[in-house]
Amino acid sequence: MLKKLANNHMRLPFYIARRYLFAKKSHNIINIISLISLVGVATGVMALVIVLSVFNGFDSLIARLYSSIDSDVRILPVTGKTFSVATAEFDKIRELKGVAIFSEILEENALFKYRSKQHIGVIKGVSKNYVDLTGLDSMLIDGGFTLWNGSQPMAIMGQGVAYYLNASLAHFDPLVVYVPKRGKATLSLESAFGRKNIMPSGVFAVEQEFDTQYIITPVEFVRNLLAYDSTTVTSVELKVAKGFNPERLKGEVEKILGSDFKVQNRFQQNESLYRTMKSEKFAIGMILTLILIIASFNIVGSLSMLIIEKRKDVETLRSLGADNDLIRKIFLTEGLLISIGGTIIGTALGLIVCWAQITFKLIKLEGRGSFIVDAYPVDVQFGDIALILLVVLTIGFVAARFPVQMITKRILNTPDKNQL
């Protein structure tokens, strides 16, 4: 009779499992273990949601910061340091449909001197359109992003460079740039180094390593300092036209230039950094998943004790016509209810905490004022949420199925013909 009812009402295992879950047991320890199981799953899910969202927040923040100094596509020579852009190949690249901005770059190590202070860094000469190529002008903390004041070249310093030089825009003192002269070996310091003065116009703050090394100037200033002609560069940086696929443009540029040049997208320009961040996110996710697996062992314990306690109920159900498959579904459903309940509660709590952090910035970063943001960044990605739900429910199913299969085989006298 019960078997017939089960065939007509597929939710019968759910109703019985729900009754068992919330009914008072003869041993309170079963209720306690079930509650601990639910809390453990909820805590693990909440931790996964929060931690992965924080990692996503840092990923987004770093990508935004590096977009201020990195271009969509960068072209570098495979051999040597410099090359000329006065070729037919680069003329073709300028005319490509996907190229919105073509910027010439010339970099060189240099010694900077401001009053009595000295600092070794990198001078980066850029085209006038560089401000449109990146968002570096939005990262200024003092002054303006001015490369030319009439016919006078100007320099924009990194915050770290300005700090080490004790430089201030209010002093109106020039910045002295020294670079080694090419092809000249001499014992005289004056003749071994090229030297030029330039006035600072602004200070930017993006990322510590970049800020403590770089000074941005017009490319013409660096060419004059290094005695290069007007077509020499160390790299070319491109901005992709709106709506155009960066990877498609990268492929077109590679086809034009051949094997003599390296063409890099944003990821490849900082490949080690992005790989490290992805590896850290994966490692933390795996650690929290292992903790969640350990917490799910409570489901095994609570179901095992419940099956033993409900042995008389099992005999009653079998006398009413329930087969082994239906009985297993009842206990398996109870285990899944614990997992699903913990997953829903944990996800909801995790999303609430993420929302509170985004809205109220509850947890601050240490070293306030030295970073671009004051609070931990959070970016909830629903792809991660879906993956968390899939992993947790899979763990819950396995944790519930194991005791149901093992213990019911001992309790049920008839052979197990219907497997879940």
Amino acid at 306: L
Last residue of a domain, one of 268, 288, 306: 268
Domain range for 347 is: 2-66+273-411
What mean pLDDT value characterizes the chain?
89
Residues 93, 220 within the same domain? yes
pLDDT score of 152: 96
The dihedral of CA 73, 77, 81, 84: what is its sign? negative
Which residue intervals of 23-175 are DSSP H helices? 28-66, 88-94, 130-133, 159-165
Model pLDDT for residues 362-403, shown as the tens digit of each residue: 998 875 455 567 889 999 999 999 999 999 999 999 999 988
Residues 132, 192 within the same domain? yes
Provide the CA 302 distance to its chain's centre, in angstroms.
38
Q: Decide if pLDDT at 416 tops 50.
A: no
Distance CA 139, CA 64 (A): 11
Q: Does some domain include residue 417?
A: no
Burial code of 381-419, b = ≥16 C-beta within 10 A, e = fewer?
eeebbeebbebbeebbbebbbbbbeebbeeebeeeeeee
Last residue of a domain, one of 222, 238, 268: 268
What secondary structure letter does DSSP report for 370?
S
What secondary structure letter does DSSP report for 323?
-
Q: Does some domain include residue 41?
A: yes
Name which of 246, 247, 241, 418 is nearest 329 in CA terms.
418
Q: Does some domain include residue 334?
A: yes
Distance CA 37, CA 35 (A): 5
Last residue of a domain, one of 268, 300, 333: 268
**Range scoring the smallest mean pLDDT among 81-85, 132-136, 247-251:** 132-136
Residues 388, 247 within the same domain? no
pLDDT score of 2: 52
**Range scoring the smallest mean pLDDT among 14-23, 48-57, 367-376:** 367-376
Residues 81, 230 within the same domain? yes
pLDDT confidence band for 409 (50 / 70 / 90): confident
Residues 99, 176 within the same domain? yes
Residues 22, 35 within the same domain? yes
pLDDT score of 314: 85
Predicted model pTM: 0.81
Residues 178, 109 within the same domain? yes
Distance CA 128, CA 105 (A): 11
Residues 81, 51 within the same domain? no
Distance CA 281, CA 299 (A): 28
Residues 126, 264 within the same domain? yes
Residues 264, 277 within the same domain? no
Model pLDDT for residues 172-217, shown as the tens digit of each residue: 899 999 998 876 666 666 677 889 999 999 999 988 899 999 999 9
Q: How many domains does the chain have?
A: 2
